[in-house]
Amino acid sequence: MTRLLLVLTISFISCKSQTGKTNPLEEAKDPISVIQENEKKSAEKENNNLGELVSTISFKVKTNNKKDFKDGFIPWASIEKPKQDIPYLYEKMKLLLKTQR
């Protein structure tokens, strides 16, 4: 019986110390507002020290729809159906990264 009482006491103290780590007066924040706050903080960061832009990659796909896309290219590639767009991808064989073997 004393062992059971000892185990229960230790368990209770252990649990109490775990729950005591949070401030009971602090309100739980809404997850959406936390995400919005983090997004706002991220947008306010300065990105002046990222380095020099060397080149860009344009995801353009050849199209016959000259009415909506006068230059003959759609300015995106499908993520849902990539096999449909890859054959018509602009500069699909261009080397983007040089690797050493």
Instruction: Determine the residue type at 2.
Output: T
pTM across the whole model: 0.40
The pLDDT value given to residue 20: 47
Residues whose CB is less than 8 angstroms from the CB of residue 72 and which lie 6 or more positions away in sequence, other chains included: 62, 63, 64, 66
85: burial class by Cβ within 10 Å (0-12, 13-18, 19+)?
buried
Q: Which of 64, 63, 68 is nearest to 90 (CA)?
A: 63
| Model pLDDT for residues 17-69, shown as the tens digit of each residue | 444 455 656 677 888 989 999 999 888 887 777 777 777 777 899 999 999 99
Q: How many CB atoms lie within 10 A of CB 61?
A: 20
For residue 73, the surrounding DSSP H or E stretch is strand 73-74
Question: What is residue 24's predicted lDDT score, i.e. its pLDDT?
Answer: 58
